[in-house]
Chain A
Amino acid sequence: MKADVINKSSNRVDGYEKVTGKAKFGADINFGNQLYAKTVYSEYPRAKIKKIKLNKAKKLDGVVEIITAEDVPGTNEMFGRFPVLAAEEVKYVGDGIAVVAAESQEIAKKAVKLIVVEYEEIEPILDMKKAVKDTKELVHSDKEDNIIEHSHHLMRKGDIEKGFKGADVILERTYYTPFVDQAYIEPEVVISIPDPYRKGIEIHGSIQNPYSVQENIAKVMDHKISEVKVIHSTIGGSFGGKDESVMMMAARTSILAERTKRPVKMVLTREESMTESCKRHPYEMNYKIGAKKDGTIVAIQDEVYTQGGPYNNKAMFANWRGSVHATGPYQVDNVKTDYYGVYTNTIYGGAYRGFSAPQTVFGIESLIDELAEELNMSPKEIRLKNCLKPGDTFATGQKMGKDNIPIPLKEIIKEVCEKADYEKKVKKFKEYNKKHSEIKKGIGISCTLRGAGLGGEGIDTAGATITIDKDGSITLISDLTEMGQGMRTAHAQIAAETLGVSLERLSFINTDTSIIMDGGPTVASRGTLAGGQAVIAAGKKLKDRLKKVAAEKLNCDKEVIIIKNDQVYEYDNVNNMIDFDELIGVCIAEKGISLSAQGWYNPGPEELSEETGQGNAYPTYVYGCAVTEIIVDTKTGEVGVEKIIAGYDIGTPINPQQVKGQLYGGILQGLGYGLMEEFEQKEGYLKTDNFDDYLIPSIKDIPDINVILFDFEDDFGPYGAKSVGELGIELVAPSLVNAFKNATNNRIREIPLNLERASLGKNLSK
């Protein structure tokens, strides 16, 4: 049946509010009689707290309350060991020690400066490798080492030693990636208010995952989960970032709100956001690859260390995803993979679009190119030879191409290379580079596969409620969060398609934990994949009720009722019809039917062995291939990206325009990752804490981007849709360094490829 609403580039359902400024972001929201909170941060990367002197600050006119760790009513340790406030020891420069609530932001700022903390400095643990080896120096003294709990994930497939024995060529390479920031336009905001009607607390703010905040705050406040209500405000981008930091902010403001019985608002400055919020984990990836002379990969071994900082609640999940994808989209018979998360006294790693993929894909796709060079093969051919094809087995032993799950890597690589005129360009650039001694051109490939949704990482359940009002208008409440990615529009299109009505009827409500079931976090590109299924489930329930009433009214069988384009009629007898609005009237006023339904989606757990990592990792996968052209000034190190051609199979796009927007955005963040983004730290202190030093691509850095959408049939997701949020980001950095090698004959194994690395082959630090 032809789709009426989905697979169309309709405007965003929240577009009007955003374009007219009606949408309120966290910082725009104010409650009467509110206080302003500000945190006192640690002055050292690691130190014992000897004394906190609050007297002077307390005396300041307009200061209403100051709290320290002692004032936390429930637990002071949230998920991932994050303290609400540091009690005995500060473990990084973003640790909070005290929080002031004052009548104005200015007073709060002044008060923070009047608080004196006496410390006893301790040598911080900064180096990841040292933290692994030296178990005498511990970030957490109750542990035996510095490995983050449950962060060791492994993969064991075939016989690794036998695999390498059969190899003609063996390469060992190490790749490095830095801490990088999500760089959302809106810094974090949280406002906590004492619940005006009952015991409990109400929390508003730029909160990506309302349910995890709710659960953690309940423990901190010693409340029942039902006594904590979280409503997210309009969010100005998150990309995984507005999670740990807003959890800490919610805890601090909730304590202050209950103590003062007043609303308490906390807005982070950009500097505070960069210091206190999570970053993408830096990786050290030690790879060993073995191959036959003809290019067939026979074994891959890798040991990967991911830097966590002093607290972490993501390494245990991200490392699992990393361990599954460590050998890339390739058929490898013998695999040995180990991922470890490491505690250090530095800023900390968390979720940032990709969740291990930007690092892992950079590693494996650089490695494959290095193997091609070693074997004197074309980067394209080596990928075509080894990429997973129907019947192959993934690193987890999962059989690919089964149960109508397509595995179209070969087709995608071929078509993207053809569109990019890859072979011709390789020759053309070779000629160009012969003639030019200083300016060089290069072209590079990368390809990927990505498990869709959470897979074996967790239960991928989601919920949605659809309510039809008397006038036929429809409210959709999803338990997942709109952060700017366009999820609401995709959900509305899916709801309208399922119900057979026009998109204009749909309206939305911000996620409110008190009115809908916990459907997990809005992560892992699962908004459409899992959330969309919940919307379909709710829509089907309602449609069934509507059909029953329509059948009675039209005097025919329920099975032959069609609801389509706001019309309700008998199949093959279109004139026996009733208007949709009229039908709603009949349902509510005449029959007393409930027109509110919840949909729940539960794909069930994926089964994987903890000892070997073997099993079905994900129910389905998305794919991509990118070709990047660059121009390099070998003398100055300036690298200009000229063109990116990228093809993706994300299933059927619910909204092609939004899908492309997502991919363009991901590509640009990938470009920043490859070329310029990096947090500089010195002895545990953060040197880059605003956008003057932390550079992200400007409009002038944006190349010509051509996105090709493939749609290989896959019926796992809602209306054939799969995952799109994260896929765009992962291909750019590897194709960029591969293009750089092609241009200059220099291999860069650490990103970003900044001026110094491009001209000197290494970074310089202040």
Chain B
Amino acid sequence: MDFDFLQPTDLDEVCKLLNEYKGKVKIISGGTDFMIDLHKDELSPEIEYIIDVSNLRDLNYIKEDDNKIIIGAGTTHNEIANNPIVNKWAPVLAKATNSIGSPQIRNRGTLAGNIVTASPAADSVPALLVLNGKVKIKTSSTTKEIPLEDFFIKPYQSKINQDELIVEISFKKPPMECKSGFKKLTRRKAVDKARLNIAVLALQNNIDEIEILRIAPGSITPTPERFEKTENILLNKRPTKELIKKAAEQVSSTMIEKSGYRWSTEYKKPVIKTMTRRILTRVLEVE
């Protein structure tokens, strides 16, 4: 395969090129997914241009204002995992990005890349879902923002159009008192994709009632999503072992509802139940 490799120097140029070469262009940032596709010859034959956005300064930042945390699309997993703002306001995201691949992959791979690949097993996505993350998308003439939970269509396919680029991921600062957790289950202890993963964010009031609860399991549905039905089991209640057990069972049955009975279900069904039970027990500090 032969391509023209383009390295625009600013964002406007990227958008201009995307518009001009619509349908014939693929974006490379960290390259941790792209290079695999290239190696396996799995790139669409229509692709004639590669746009490298990895050197664009205007895509690499982590900022906060009074209400929000804003992360540039080209920020790497390691930059996020080690960032003090992220660690203060969203340790769940720091933990999730720190679980991706190896140090080398985390130094190259970017947050937007992890999202746009739309893998059901992406590690950053469950964390961003419980943070109610939003994705800012730009074209040469428009800018829009959509909730992350509306971003995915099916495995490895998102709503991003051919002339669009993710430029930013943001989320509202959760209340300081929020507790959260992220757990990833793998076949080996490092450099592995998730067999299962799950993120939880919760807020309890002074009499322990749950005011906020967001649960996002990964790798069990075609597209990652929050399990609101499960959240409702515990919402506005004091957590108990029994309620958590019920919630965990709910996650398991919702998985089968959404994904059907697959070759891996026999394993995943009991295990996601256990993982949900454990992470809720830990985050909600139920004895």
Residues of B within 8 A of A756 (CB): 267
Partner of A636, one of B102, B191, B263, B274: B274
Is B159 positioned at the interface, with any CB of A under 8 Å from its CB? no
Write the nearest CB–CB distance from A746 to chain B, whole angstroms.
15
Residues of A within 8 A of B270 (CB): 635, 759
Question: Please, how many angstroms separate the alpha-carbon atoms of A128 and B271 in the complex?
Answer: 33
Q: Which of B46-54, B139-147, B181-189, B210-218 contacts A (4 or more CB under 8 A)?
A: B181-189
Residues of A within 8 A of B188 (CB): 675-676, 695, 697-698, 700-701
1/0 contact trace for A694-705 toward B, CB 8 Å?
Answer: 010111110000
B residues 84-117 near A (Cβ < 8 Å) are 102
* Residue of B36, B187, B191, B193 with most partner-chain A CB within 10 A: B187
Which residue on chain A has the smallest CB distance to residue B275?
A636
CB–CB B264/A754 < 8 A: no
Which residue on chain B has the smallest CB distance to residue A762?
B266
Partner of B185, one of A636, A698, A699: A636
* Residue of B36, B189, B270 with most partner-chain A CB within 10 A: B189
Partner of B191, one of A438, A675, A698, A754: A698
CB–CB B263/A755 < 8 A: no
* Known A636-B274, A755-B195: A701·B189 in contact at CB below 8 Å: yes
B residues 103-152 near A (Cβ < 8 Å) are none
Which residue on chain A has the smallest CB distance to residue B189?
A700
Is B37 positioned at the interface, with any CB of A under 8 Å from its CB? no
* Known A635-B274, A637-B271: A765·B191 in contact at CB below 8 Å: no
B residues 170-191 near A (Cβ < 8 Å) are 185, 187-191
Write the nearest CB–CB distance from A607 to chain B, whole angstroms.
47
Is B192 positioned at the interface, with any CB of A under 8 Å from its CB? yes
Size of the A side of the interface (Cβ < 8 Å), in residues, is 23
A residues 693-743 near B (Cβ < 8 Å) are 695, 697-701
Question: Please, how many angstroms separate the alpha-carbon atoms of A290 and B23 in the complex?
Answer: 71
Write the nearest CB–CB distance from B102 to chain A, whole angstroms.
8
Question: Please, how many angstroms separate the alpha-carbon atoms of A322 and B271 in the complex?
Answer: 39
CB–CB A695/B192 < 8 A: yes
Residues of A within 8 A of B263 (CB): 764-766
Residues of A within 8 A of B274 (CB): 438, 635-636
Question: Please, how many angstroms separate the alpha-carbon atoms of A697 and B189 in the complex?
Answer: 8
CB–CB A764/B195 < 8 A: no
Residues of B within 8 A of A759 (CB): 267, 270-271
A residues 622-677 near B (Cβ < 8 Å) are 635-638, 640, 675-676
Write the nearest CB–CB distance from B33 to chain A, whole angstroms.
11
Is A52 positioned at the interface, with any CB of B under 8 Å from its CB? no
CB–CB B185/A638 < 8 A: yes
Which residue on chain B has the smallest CB distance to residue A675?
B188
Residues of A within 8 A of B191 (CB): 698
Residues of B within 8 A of A675 (CB): 188
CB–CB B187/A695 < 8 A: yes
CB–CB B192/A760 < 8 A: no
Write the nearest CB–CB distance from B109 to chain A, whole angstroms.
14
B residues 238-285 near A (Cβ < 8 Å) are 263-264, 266-267, 270-271, 274-275
CB–CB A636/B264 < 8 A: no
* Residue of B190, B192, B267 with most partner-chain A CB within 10 A: B267
Write the nearest CB–CB distance from A733 to chain B, whole angstroms.
16
Residues of B within 8 A of A692 (CB): 36, 193
Question: Please, how many angstroms separate the alpha-carbon atoms of A759 and B275 in the complex?
Answer: 14
Write the nearest CB–CB distance from A439 to chain B, whole angstroms.
11
CB–CB B267/A635 < 8 A: no
Write the nearest CB–CB distance from B214 to chain A, whole angstroms.
23
CB–CB A755/B190 < 8 A: no
Write the nearest CB–CB distance from A67 to chain B, whole angstroms.
24
1/0 contact trace for A160-183 toward B, CB 8 Å?
Answer: 000000000000000000000000
Residues of B within 8 A of A698 (CB): 102, 188-192
Which residue on chain A has the smallest CB distance to residue B40?
A271
CB–CB B189/A754 < 8 A: no
Residues of A within 8 A of B185 (CB): 636, 638, 755
CB–CB B189/A635 < 8 A: no
Question: Please, how many angstroms separate the alpha-carbon atoms of A567 and B274 in the complex?
Answer: 72
Question: Please, how many angstroms separate the alpha-carbon atoms of A766 and B270 in the complex?
Answer: 18
* Residue of B36, B102, B188 with most partner-chain A CB within 10 A: B188
Write the nearest CB–CB distance from B188 to chain A, whole angstroms.
5
Residues of B within 8 A of A754 (CB): 187
Which residue on chain A has the smallest CB distance to residue B185?
A636
Question: Please, how many angstroms separate the alpha-carbon atoms of A638 and B45 in the complex?
Answer: 41
Partner of B267, one of A438, A697, A755: A755
* Known A636-B274, A636-B275, A755-B195: A764·B264 in contact at CB below 8 Å: yes
Write the nearest CB–CB distance from A688 to chain B, whole angstroms.
12
Which residue on chain B has the smallest CB distance to residue A672?
B188
A residues 739-759 near B (Cβ < 8 Å) are 754-756, 759
Residues of A within 8 A of B275 (CB): 636
Residues of A within 8 A of B189 (CB): 640, 698, 700-701
Question: Please, how many angstroms separate the alpha-carbon atoms of A754 and B192 in the complex?
Answer: 14
Write the nearest CB–CB distance from B265 to chain A, whole angstroms.
9
Instruction: Across the A-B interface, give the 6 residue pairs with the lowest CB-CB distance, nearest first.
Output: A700-B189, A698-B190, A700-B190, A635-B274, A701-B189, A698-B191
| Chain B contact residues, CB within 8 Å of chain A | 36, 102, 185, 187-193, 195, 263-264, 266-267, 270-271, 274-275
Beyond A697-B188, A698-B190, 4 additional contacts (C-beta under 8 Å) are A638-B185, A675-B188, A676-B188, A759-B270
5 A-B residue pairs with Cβ-Cβ distance under 8 Å, sorted by A, are A675-B188, A692-B36, A695-B187, A698-B102, A699-B190
| Chain A contact residues, CB within 8 Å of chain B | 438, 635-638, 640, 675-676, 692, 695, 697-701, 754-756, 759-760, 764-766
